[in-house]
């Protein structure tokens, strides 16, 4: 195909998620031909990120310290824990500016098909965290899909057994959407979760 290292670069990019052979080729040529693209910075960052970024020892979020910025922040409400699947969910929730408690990042969701059980997630860490601190509410914010719902159901049983109040993010119609385009499961949930207006 291409001379040595160009093909190697295309292959390496092609190993990244969501990048097919055509995109990989396009990216490699962009890097070759665009002088103002900072190759050395990307090259450094790849190494730096792998070396310096780790998981917060309290919540499992990504951080460059032992504890993440949210766990270190004394202004956050220590009695509220929001359980999410991935670090990117923390970022999504932080963007809403509605939640001022702490997080617990599971590192995925229960998925028997993929061989992921409760012990492959940071559920034991969550339980020991709850036993050592006073928590008023655990909000389960796993994804509203099959794996996320299974994880929420599992957690809810587990947390009920140790008598910690648990809630789950509301399901319903997405704001700004058209009712007619909502799928029947979402619409059904919106009915179940309907709220009194007066």
Binding site for a copy of itself (CB under 8 A): 1-6, 8-9, 12-13, 15-19, 23, 25-32, 37-50, 52-53, 62-64, 68-69, 86-88, 91
Tell the smallest beta-carbon distance from residue 89 to a copy of itself (Å). 11
Choice between 39 and 185, CB closer to a copy of itself: 39
Beta strands across the sheet bearing 77-84: 101-105, 77-84, 137-140, 166-168
| In the chain, beta strands by DSSP E | 54-55, 62-63, 77-84, 101-105, 137-140, 166-168
Give the separation between CA 17 and CA 19, rounded to whole angstroms: 6
Choice between 20 and 177, CB closer to a copy of itself: 20
Choice between 47 and 179, CB closer to a copy of itself: 47
For residue 29, the surrounding DSSP H or E stretch is helix 21-33
Residue the block writes with tokens 């899909």: 145
CB 53 within 8 A of CB 64: yes
Tell the smallest beta-carbon distance from residue 187 to a copy of itself (Å). 26
Tell the smallest beta-carbon distance from residue 58 to a copy of itself (Å). 15
Q: Kindly give, in sequence order, each residue whose CB lies less than 8 Å from that of residue 67, ignoring residues fewer than 6 positions away.
A: 56, 57, 58
Tell the smallest beta-carbon distance from residue 13 to a copy of itself (Å). 8
SS3 of residue 102 by DSSP: strand
Tell the smallest beta-carbon distance from residue 2 to a copy of itself (Å). 6
Choice between 42 and 146, CB closer to a copy of itself: 42
Tell the smallest beta-carbon distance from residue 21 to a copy of itself (Å). 11
Choice between 53 and 185, CB closer to a copy of itself: 53
Choice between 28 and 135, CB closer to a copy of itself: 28
Give the separation between CA 71 and CA 41, rounded to whole angstroms: 29
Give the separation between CA 196 and CA 198, rounded to whole angstroms: 6
SS3 of residue 10 by DSSP: helix
């Amino acid at each position: 195909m291409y001379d040595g290292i160009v093909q190697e670069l295309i292959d390496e990019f092609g190993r990244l998620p969501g990048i097919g052979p055509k995109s990989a080729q396009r990216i490699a040529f962009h890097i070759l031909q665009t002088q103002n693209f900072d190759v050395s910075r990307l090259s450094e960052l790849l190494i730096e990120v792998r070396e310096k970024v780790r998981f917060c020892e309290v919540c499992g979020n990504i951080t460059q310290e032992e504890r993440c910025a949210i766990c270190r922040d004394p202004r956050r409400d220590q009695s509220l824990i929001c359980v999410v699947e991935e670090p990117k969910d923390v970022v999504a929730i932080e963007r809403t500016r509605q939640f001022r408690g702490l997080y617990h990042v599971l590192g995925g969701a229960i998925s028997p098909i993929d061989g992921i059980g409760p012990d492959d997630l940071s559920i034991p860490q969550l339980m020991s965290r709850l036993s050592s601190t006073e928590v008023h509410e655990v909000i389960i914010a796993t994804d509203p899909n099959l794996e996320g719902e299974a994880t929420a159901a599992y957690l809810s049983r587990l947390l009920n057994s140790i008598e910690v109040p648990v809630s789950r993010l509301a399901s319903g119609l997405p704001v700004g959407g058209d009712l007619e385009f909502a799928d029947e499961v979402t619409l059904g949930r919106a009915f179940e979760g309907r709220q009194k207006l007066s």
